[in-house]
Chain A
Amino acid sequence: MADMKTAAYICKGCGIGERVDTAQMAKVATKEGKMHLVREHDFLCSAAGVQTISDDIEKEGVTHAVIAACSRRAKTEAFNFTNIALSRANIREGVIWAQPDTEEARETTQEMADDYLRMGCGELKKMKLPAGVAETGHTKRLLVVGGGVSGLTAALEASRTGYQVVLVEKSAKLGGWSAEMYKRMPFREPYAEPQDTGMAELIKEVSDDPNIKVITNAVIGRTDGAPGRFKVDINVESGPSVSEEVGAIIQATGFTTYDIGKLPELGGGKSPNVIDQAGLERMASEAAAKGLAMRRPSDGGEIKCVVFVQCAGQRDETGKHLSYCSGFCCGASIKQAMYFKDANPGVDTAVIYDDLRVPGNGEDFYRSAQSKGVTFTKGKVTAVEAKGEVCEVKFRDLILDEDATIAAADLVVLATGQVPNSGVNIDIPAEEVEKMEVKPISILNLTYRQGKDMPQLAHGFTDSHFICFPYETRRTGIYSAGPVRRPMDMAQATEDATGATLKAIQAMENAALGRAAHPRSGDLSYPIVQLDGCTQCKRCTVECPFGAIDEDEKTYPVFNESRCRRCGTCMGACPVRVISFENYSCDTVGAQIKAVDVPDEFSEKPRILVLACENDAYPAIDMAGMQKNCYSAFVRVIPVRCLGSVNAIWITDALSAGFDGIMMLGCKHGDDYQCHFVKGSELASVRMSKIDDTLKQLSLETERVISHEVAITDMGRVPQLINDYAAKINEIGMSPLKGFA
C-alpha cells in the first residue's frame, strides 16, 4: 500500500532494557521488519512516551505501528490509538518475565525478543484499520415475546430506560402462570409468609404505558434481519397480521408444566384428588375469590390431610421423565402447605422430599413452615393409590430406612417441573422431525439458514453458557429470559428479565454503531468475503456458532455483520481462505509465522509455535510470566480470537517454515464447554483430528501438532505443558522440513 507508513516503538522500561539489547531489536525492526520509523523509549506508557507516538501519527503520518513492550492485555488505556493499525509485541510478560535472568539464558531471550518484534512487523503490514460495518440497522425498538412475569418485566424495564417496546402474547390476556397464582413465595424480609403476586398491578402498569404496544392473541409469523434491523411479522388471531421493525428481541416464552398424566404411579390422572402445583394454585385462587376454604376435588369434602410429593417426574434417572431439578418446586410446596396451615392449623400437611432445595432466602421460609407445623419427611414416594375419596401414599423413609404409608390423604400435590417453551430444536434432523407424532411449533420463525428458533443448551432450555455469560444466547440480538432459559421462580424471572433487557439494549446500541456484541464488545472489524474465490462449500454457513451467515439462491454465503460475534470460525473453516477480517486474517497470522527466524537443524534450537486462544489460554500464559513461571525459550506464541478461527493453512505454513512442533491451546469443549464462542474449540478439535493423516503423508510424526484444553486459571499448568512438549520435541528430533522454505 502506497500510503502505509510503519513505525516500531521499543520500550526499555519494566526491566526490558536491562534484559535484552534494544539497539539490536531496533536494528531488526529497521533491516528485517523494514519499518519506516524506529524509536526506542525508556518508559513508553508514560505520558511522554504516548505523546511521542501521537506526535508521530500527527506529524509523520504514521498509519501502522508495532509496540514492543508489554502484553497486548496490559496498558490498553495508554496505547489506545483508534486511528492507526496497531500490533503489540509481547516482550515483557512473554519474554523477560518468562525466561530466567541468567547469563546462559541471555542469548535465547534475545532471540525470543527479536522474533516477537519480527512477528509484529510482519503482522502489521497485513493489517488494516477496521472501518466498521457500513450496513447497520438503527431501529431501537424492542420486541418482547411472551406476556408472563418475565415478558412484562422486560417490557417495563425497557420502557423505563427510554425504549419503545412491542409485546406479543399468544393468549388473550397478559400475566401467564403468575397471574393464576394465589400467592407467591416471599421475596422480602422476613421471608416468612407467602406474599401477594402483584401481577394485577404489573399488568396494569404495562397496559397503561404509552411506550409499550401490547398485541394479544398473536404469534410471531416470521423474523428476518439482524440486530438493529429485525423485520417481524406478527400473526393476530382475528385480524390482519402486523409488521414491526425492531432492534432486538427478548424471548420470554416461559414454560409448560410437566404432564401429570405421565405419572400414573403417583396417581397422576387416576384421581381428581391428585393434582399438580399449578392445579393447587388455581384451587386456592378460586376458593379465595369465594372466601371459602379449599375442598376435596372429588366430592367437596373437608381437607384434613395434604401430602406434597417433591421431585415428581423430575431428577429422574430412568430416562422416562425430566432429568433435571426445576429448583423452585420445594419453595412452592412450602408455600402451598402454608395455604392450609394458615387457614386451619389442624390440617396435616406433609412434604415428602428427597433433598429440600430452597435457594436464596428460601431457608428462612422453610424454617417458617416448620414452625407452623408443616411436617417434612425425607423420603421417596413409591405409589399413590386412590382408595375411595382419599389416597394412600406409600413411600420409603430415607432416614429410618423403611417403608411407610400415609393412609388417608385428602389431597396429593405433585411437584412437577418446568418444561421450557423454546420452539423447534434446530439440532434435530428434518427426517426425525417427520417421524414425530406432535410436530414442534416454532416460536420465532427465524429466516436464518441454521433454523427457525434459538439453539438449545440442554433439556430444551435456550441458554448459551450459564456460568460465564448467562444472558447470552447463540443468536446475537435475541435474548431469552425467564423459565425458557432455565427453570426459575418469579423473583428469579424478574431479575432475569431485567438482565436480558439491558443486554438487548446494549445489542441495539452496538448494532447502530456497527460494533460487535459480547464477547468482543466494541470490535469494529467484521468478516469480509471475496465471493469470486468461493466454492460454495457451505462450511462457513454450517459452522457459524451464531447463525450469522445465510445463503443466497446460488448458495453463496450472505454475511449479516450485526449478527456476527467476530470469532473467525468461518475464517478457520474456509478451505479456500476467502474470508478475512481487516485486522485479523490468514495473512496476518501467516505473516507472523513466516517472520520467525528458524535456526537450522544442527543448532539444537527447535522452534515451537503456540496458537493460543486470546480469551483463556493467552491470559494464562501471560499470568505464568507475571508469576515468573518460566517456560521453554523455543516457543513463539500467537494469540488467536478462538481456536475455531485457526485455518489449516497456518499449520502448513508453520511446518514448511521449519517449525518443529505446533501446540494449540484452546478452551474446554464438550458438554461443559468453556469456549466463549460456544463451538470454536470443538470445531478446531474436529478439524485437527483430521490432520494426523496429512502429517503421516508428509512422513512427519503425529506429535508435531498437538492440542490442549486450557483454562484461564492454568497459569501453573501451562508452562508445564509447554516444557513437556519441548522435551517431547527434543526426543523425536528436529523437523526434517527445515531449510526448504
Chain B
Amino acid sequence: MKKLIVIALLSAAPLFLSAADAPKKTIAITGARLLTVSHGIIENGTLVMADGKITAVGESGKVTVPSNAEVVDAHGMTVYPGLIDPETNFGLLEIGSDENTTDTAEPSDEIMPHMRVADAFHAETELIPVARLNGITNAVVAPASDDTIAGQDIFIQLAGADRDAMILGRDVALAMNFGAEQRRRGSHSAFPSTRMGLITQLRQSFFDAQDYMAKRDAAAKKDEKPEAKKDDKAESKKDDKSDTKKDDKADKPFKRDLKLEALIPYLKGERPVVIGVYEGYDIETIMKVAQEFHLKVILNHVTHSQEVLDKIAAYKVPVIVGSIYDFPRANERFDAVYTLPAELAKRGVKIAISSADAGGPVSSHSSRNLPYAAGFAVAYGLPYDEALKAITLNVADMFGFGDKLGSLDVGKTANVVLANGDPLDVRTSVKQVYIDGAAVPMVSRQTQLRDEYKK
C-alpha cells in the first residue's frame, strides 16, 4: 500500500488502479457501522474481502476473521458499498470548454445508435480518480443528449489495470432522448424541426431496423441452406458476378447496415433503452413509441413530470430521477423537483439518482457529489435506505449488474467504501476506497496539487 502511494505521488499521469495488478490480500474491516443496502444496517459489523470478493459480512464476533487477513480497525467508521453513478460522461470529456477533449455526442444526425461509447472512452481521464476519492466505484458512461438516439452506453469500474479491465459492460444500454433539445435542425429549416418530425423519424428508424432484421435473418437462413448444397452454382455465380441480374440480387452477400443492426438488441428487448425526457407530455409521447416497439425502458430525468407521476408508476419502468437540482418553473413551489425522488418512490417506482447538475448532465466533474444529491432527496422526503439504494443497488439492477455490485453481500465484487460518517452528508470524508478488494491509493491530480502547495 505504502509503495503504491509513493508510485502514485511520483507519477504525473493519473492512476488507473495499479493496485488491481497487485496480489489481492485478504482484508477484514472490523467494528464498523455497515450499511449493507440489501439487509439493513449492522451497527458493529465486520466485513471480509478476499480475492476481489466479499467473503463475509455480519456482526463482529459472529464473523470469523481469517488468520491471514490484514485487519482494518474501523470503530467509529461507516462502511458501505461503492456508489454507482447512473449517468456520466467519464472519459468522453476532460475540459468543458475545450472541444479537443470532448467526444460526448455525434450531432450529424438524430439517430445514431451505432455510436459506441466504448470506442471513445478515455480511461486515463483525470475525472475518474477525483470521483473515486468520494466513493464512486462504478458508473454508466453515456453520450450527451443531442440526439434522439445518441449511442450505446458502457458500464465501468473506476479502477482497473487498463481500459478493457475498467469496462465491465459494453453497449449495456441505448441512450435515447426526447424533447425540445433534439429539434435543432429547426434553425436550419431542415427536418426534423418539431417533435412531430422527431417521432416520425424515430418510428421510421425502428421500422427500418425491423425490416432489416427480417432481411438479415432471411439472408442468414439462405446462407445456411446453401451450406448443404454449397454447389457449383454458387461457385459459378462468383465468376460472373459482374453481370448479376435482378433475379440474383438476393444472392448477393448480405451487406451489413451498422446503424440499423445496432438497434436490433433493443428492439428485441434484450437490453434497456435509457430515455432522457423532462416534460410530462413528452414522457407520454415517447412512452407510446416505446410501448409500440416493446422497448425495455429506463426513464431518465423526468424533472417536470409532477402531473404524470401516477402514469409513470403505471408504466412499471425504473427511473433515473433528476437532476433534482433542475429548476422548477416560474410560479411552481421551490421544492417541486427536490421532492420528485420521494414522490416516485412513494408510488413504488424503482429509482436511481445521478450526479447530473441542473438542466441535465453536461460534465461529470461533479460526479463526486453524487451522494449529496441522494442526501438532498432525503431532506425532501425520500426514506434514507431508498436514497442509498438509488445510488448503489438500484443502479446495478437497472444495468444488469445487480448480482455483482451494489450491496455488501457475500459473493459480490468487493467495491467497498470506508468513511468517517454518513455517506450522504457533505461533511463526511471518505477515508479509503476498495475496488475489487484492493485499497485504492487515495490520490488524484487534485490531491497532488494540494500536497505540492501545502505549507
* Pair from one complex: no
Question: What residues make up the interface of A, taking CB atoms closer than 8 Å to B?
Answer: none
Question: What residues make up the interface of B, taking CB atoms closer than 8 Å to A?
Answer: none
